[in-house]
Structures are given as structure tokens and as C-alpha cells.
Structure 1
Amino acid sequence: MKFNLLKGKKVWPIIFFLIFVLFFLDIFYFFFTPILSHRDTPVVYSLWPGTSYWKSANQLHSRGLLSRPSYWLALGFLEGNLKNLKAGDYQISPGVTTPHQLLSQMLVGKGVLYSVTIPEGWTFAQMKEAISKNPYLKHMENASTDILSRLNLIIKFKYPEGYFFPETYYFVRWTPEEKVYEKAYQTMEEKINTAWLARAPDLPYNNQEEVLIVASLIEKETAQHDERPLVAGVILNRLKKRMYLQIDACVIYGLQDNYRGKLTKEDLKTETAYNLYLHKGLPPTPICLPSFDSIHAALHPIQTESLFYVSRGDGTHQFSKTLKEHQTAINKYLRHKT
């Protein structure tokens, strides 16, 4: 009897040790085995803003994505990250994503990326509309409030047109929309600063604001990469000679909602600060969000004697040095006279 008791005392530590090992292996297996090892399609789990760590465990368990939510909670306690989960959509890939990987992604906010695209040549109003309609961004309250004051952006100028870089911006779900504005503004600031430092010598610009204005005119005048420095040269030539720029896109911008899809003679006589048939010099602001290509062209214009250009109808333009040459080009390409 005594022998059996002693023998039992020696066995229990082994049993406890084996239980501990099995428990440890079970935890290891749980955390490092792919969640969807037997599924064919990915699953996206949406972690809504304000979701607690405990609630996320229950949600994942109810969807069959966590077999042991208590293990998930235990890891959170051990790492002290119960309140640090980042809202977003998280993709669980078959045969790849483990519970440990999923938790790591949630802690750093490495979720599914969505995007909003701001095309080159769009106006700020178009950019604002696209951002406001994006379903994956967190939109600001009181949309009628001035966008710049709500963003707290330190902008050197009084208007937003031209100061946000056209680009595709990526973000995780529920990112505040002001982050897109901030990124677009910072990107444009970096682009214009870099381009300004590398500008050609002896340009007539007084500041970067004028560069953006000319770049926006170039952006609207031609989509041809090779033509943009030439258009820049023509604009600067006309400014130097104190000629009216007579840029239709600028007139259209000034008309705003009064533009009906085709410029008329009455439109060209309508008084706005952007009617360059009536006002010499540059318009008061950019008229769109220019591309870096147009910014570069404004700062590296081709030295040309041309003062005029007219559309050929195929996306390219005919450039002319004299009014007589220009009238001939108009007759050929617009009036179809030989």
C-alpha cells in the first residue's frame, strides 16, 4: 500500500506536465493554424469602430472563425492590447491567415485597402463630391461647413482649387475623410516644392501660386504630354506681350453652373474674373487640380515664337506664330476650309 502511494506521488507530476504540454500544443496549434484551411474563398471580417476585444472574439466565434475565443482573449491580456484594435475590414485568406496573424493585423490596422481616385484636371468641387460619396470613408459631420476650416489645414492661400494633388489614395475602412484631403494637400506641396527647386532659369513667375495657375491652364488645354511645354511657352509669350490669354476652359470655369455645355458669344462677353477674353494676365486662382506633368511643363516651357494654337480635332493642336497663320489653321481645322 505504501509502495503504491509513493508510486502515485511520482506519477502525478508527470501527468500535470503532460497536461501542460498538451495545453501548450493546443494553444500553439490554435494560433498558428490557418483559420480557413478547408475553405476555397476568402472571408472579410469587419471590425466596426468601438468594437471591444471581447465582442470581436464573440463575433469571430459566431461566424465559425475562432474555435476557442478564450485563447484569443488570453493572448490579448498577455500582450496588454485589449483596447488597441483598429477598426477596418480584415481579409482572412484560405490556408494563410492564422488567428495570430489576424490579431497582429488588427493591432496595427493592416486591413483591406480601399481607394478614391482624383483624376488629373478635376476641380476641387469634383474631388469633394467623390470623397463625400465614397462608402468606405468616415465622413465629417456638418458637411456645409467650409472644408478647409474643418480640416485645420494651414494653407497659404484663401481657396482650395489647385492645391490638392490628383492621385489614387488608399485607405482602410472608416479612415476619416480629412486624412485623404491632408494627404492630397501634402503631396501637392511636396510636388510643387520639388519642381520649383528644379525650375528653368529666367521664368516670369513671382511665386509657386502662379505656377499652379499656369499648370492648371495647361492641364485643361491639352492632354498631350509633348504639347504641354509648348502650350506653356505660348501662354508665357502672350503674358509677356500683354495679350489676352483667351483660354476657353478658364471662361467655362468662371461660368460655373451657368455653363450649358457649349461656349457661346454671350458667354465670352460675360463678366467673371476668369474671362480671359475680358481680362489680361492670369486668372485669380488655378482652375483645376493639375498633374505633375503640367507643373513640370509650366516650369520648363519650350522656347518658341508661337503665340496661337488651335485644336486639330484629334487631341493635338496646330501652333502658329502670326495671326494670319492662326486664321489659316482655324479655317482648316474648325471651319474645314482649305
Structure 2
Amino acid sequence: MKKFLTFLLILILLLGGGALYGWNYYNGVGEQPLKTEEETILVTVEPNDNFSSVLNRLDNEGLLKNLLVTRIYFRYHPKETKLKPGTYTVHAQGTLHEIIEELNTGKDINEIVVTLPEGLNVERMGEVFEEKGMFTKDAFVNAVANYPTPTWLENLEGRRYAMEGFLFPSTYKFKRGQTPEYIVDYLYRAFVSQMNSIASELGTSIPTSKWNEVLTIAAMIEREAANTEEMPVISSVIYNRMAANMKLQIDATVVYALGLNAKDHVTLEDLKVNSPYNTYLNKGLPLGPIASPGAAAIKAALRPAQNTGYLYYVLNPATDSHFFTANYNEFLQKKAEYANN
């Protein structure tokens, strides 16, 4: 009897000790599920991945202490997962919940945020991508030049780039390694989407046959206007001058014809440059857009300010806004006044 009691006591102690060990092991996996001495590791989330498939991949890579115990811990200690495709840096000594949070909110190490401001031309866009380290300016320009011309875009002879103006400016999140061909296609699709969105917002239709004309006007507005508020007024000047059979005489078209940067000063000699984009020499609109306009400029091209009568404008450097007038002598007076200030 005494031997049996001793055996029973030992059994109880063993079972209790095993349970305690199991409990501690279970919590230990939850507190530190990864099996590595590294401080951080990279975890990749593939498209259509859920957290279970991420755990499977970590286990296959030998980075989990125990897949089954990790799953059980996650089941009884759930945390919302909001996984996005990408590659993320996580703290390898963190808890399961900390790792999930890093995957939920972390920054993809291969993600590159690219801001293309309104009013850039193709070559300036290429410089932005080169500065971001995605690919060279020349690679982007070549991708633009070789992009299949949309069927709605006609009369291409003499254009610098057929796709100039039709690559929508915005802030984008791209992936390292994406090709310039992919990016050009993405920017064009963004432009098409934006045109449809603007048409819906304005409650109108914008036939593709009008897109080149609208974007050509919008690009001049984008490059000439000092702010978005005066864009519809700039637009009205362009339409008023065309209605009066006057040359548009838009400095920004000369800048484009010369291939200068936006801040370069245009001289009287520059105004003589022989180019179909030079609106000082040629009546009517240039061949196509001189830059990629934003939504505000496109809307201004579609909805110019009404009944302004304005034919001239000149920048007031003191206010960084334009003075508008229908009187040529008043325009000359203000131009001299601002030049002397």
C-alpha cells in the first residue's frame, strides 16, 4: 500500500510538472514564436496571403519554434490581421501580436513613393523616377516614346511625344523593380480614370475625340496659372483669344519648344523659335499638351470663367497672382509697373 501511494504521488507530480511545462511552453511560443538569434528578419506577404499562409512560409523556412502551438495560441489569443502584399522588417524577438502589428502597419521595404507634381513634362517625369532610383530618365523617355499610341489620338506628326500630357500627375506607390513600361501604362490608365471621374463630377461626357484639345488647353493653364483659383480665368483668356482670332502668345509653349525648365527666363529672341509649339508664331492651339495637367486645370479647360472679356494677363510679383484685363494699353501699363517694382 505504501509503495502504491508513493507511485501515485510521483505520477501526480510528473503529470503536474508536465502540465506546467506544457503551459509554460505554450505561453513561451506566444511570447516569442520565432526561432532565430537575429534581431530582425524580413517577412514577405504574397498577394492573396492570409496570416495562416505566412505562418506556413515561416515554418518552411525553419523560423518558427512550433507551427501547431503558434496556431493554437493565435486561435485563443486572436488579433485582427490587415495584411498587404510586400516585404516587411519585423522584430524577431517580438511577441506574436507584435509581429502581426508590424505586418499590419509596416512599410514595404520595396515600396517607393513617387510624387509627380502637376505641370511636369515627360522628361521631367523621367528625372523624378531617376532621382528615386527606379530607373534612368532615358529609360522612362524611351518607354513613353514606344508606348502604343491610343486609337483616339490622331495627327501625331511633329509632336515631341505622343503621350505628352496623358500621364496623370499624382502621388503613387510603386515597387522597386517595376519597369518603365509598366509605369507608363499605369500613369496612362490613371489619366483615363481621371477623365472619366471628372466627366462624372461635372455631369457631362467628354468624348475621346476632344481629349487632345482639352488636355492641350489644360496643360497651358497648368503652366501659366499662379494658383488653382485663377485657372478658370486663365482658361477664359485662352478661349477669348481664340474667339478673337488672336495668337495665344503663351510663354509656357515657348519654354516647351525650347526644352527649357519652367523657371528659365524667356527672352524676346526665344519668342522667335521655329516650332509648332510656339504660340507667338502660330495661331491656334499647339500640336498637343506641353505638360501633364492636374484635375483642377482639366476642369478649368472644360469650364472656363464666363463672360470675362479678358484678353491679357500679367504676373504681379508682389502678390504672386495675375492681373487680368481686356485693354491692351492697361496690360502694357501694368507690365511696366510690375517690372519696375
Structure 2 residue aligned with 1:122: 120
Structure 1 residue aligned with 2:226: 223
How far apart, in 2, do the equivalents of 1:182 and 1:86 lie? 21
Deviations 1:264-292 (A, max 9, x none): 33322221110111211111121112122
Distance apart, 1:212 and its partner CA? 1.4
Q: 1:92 to 1:229 in 2, by over 3 A?
A: farther
TM-score, normalization by structure 2:
0.69
Structure 2 residue aligned with 1:294: 297
Matched residue type, 2:24: L
How far apart, in 1, do the equivalents of 2:130 and 2:327 lie? 47
SS of residue in 2 equivalent to 1:275: coil
Matched residue type, 1:309: Y
How far apart, in 2, do the equivalents of 1:199 and 1:236 lie? 19
Structure 2 residue aligned with 1:111: 108
Percent of counterpart pairs with the same letter?
A: 26
Matched residue type, 2:65: Y
Distance apart, 1:310 and its partner CA? 2.0
How far apart, in 2, do the equivalents of 1:289 and 1:256 lie? 15
Q: How many residues align?
A: 307
Structure 2 counterpart of 1:71, from 56, 65, 68: 65
Structure 2 residue aligned with 1:143: 139
CA contact (8 A) 1:310 1:319 kept: yes
Structure 1 residue aligned with 2:23: 21
Q: 1:307 to 1:259 in 2, by over 3 A?
A: closer
Q: 1:167 to 1:142 in 2, by over 3 A?
A: closer
How far apart, in 2, do the equivalents of 1:21 and 1:27 lie? 10
Q: 1:156 to 1:321 in 2, by over 3 A?
A: same
Matched residue type, 1:147: A
SS of residue in 1 equivalent to 2:238: helix
Structure 2 residue aligned with 1:134: 132
How far apart, in 2, do the equivalents of 1:224 and 1:26 lie? 60
Deviations 1:110-151 (A, max 9, x none): 63665222222222211122112214x5x4999378324888
Structure 2 counterpart of 1:328, from 330, 333, 336: 333
How far apart, in 1, do the equivalents of 2:196 and 2:183 lie? 20
How far apart, in 1, do the equivalents of 2:85 and 2:215 lie? 38
Structure 2 counterpart of 1:191, from 191, 194, 209: 194
Deviations 1:171-230 (A, max 9, x none): 5x6362656555543433333222234549899x96122211111101111222332111
Structure 2 residue aligned with 1:316: 321
Deviations 1:244-278 (A, max 9, x none): 10111101101116999332333222211101112
Unaligned runs of 5+ in 2: 47-55, 75-82, 154-160
Structure 2 residue aligned with 1:245: 248
Which shows bigger deviation, 85-94 or 124-133? 85-94
Structure 2 counterpart of 1:102, from 92, 99, 102: 99
How far apart, in 2, do the equivalents of 1:100 and 1:140 lie? 41
How far apart, in 2, do the equivalents of 1:49 and 1:28 lie? 21
SS of residue in 2 equivalent to 1:146: helix
CA contact (8 A) 1:47 1:56 kept: no
CA contact (8 A) 2:169 2:293 kept: yes
Unaligned runs of 5+ in 1: 36-42, 59-68
CA contact (8 A) 2:87 2:108 kept: yes
Q: 1:269 to 1:198 in 2, by over 3 A?
A: same
Q: 1:115 to 1:153 in 2, by over 3 A?
A: farther
Structure 2 residue aligned with 1:66: none
Structure 2 residue aligned with 1:38: none
1:255 aligns with 2:258: yes
How far apart, in 2, do the equivalents of 1:174 and 1:102 lie? 24
How far apart, in 2, do the equivalents of 1:142 and 1:246 lie? 31
How far apart, in 2, do the equivalents of 1:102 and 1:150 lie? 44
Alpha-carbon RMSD across the aligned residues, in angstroms, is 4.8
Matched residue type, 1:88: T
Structure 2 residue aligned with 1:90: 89
CA contact (8 A) 2:167 2:184 kept: yes
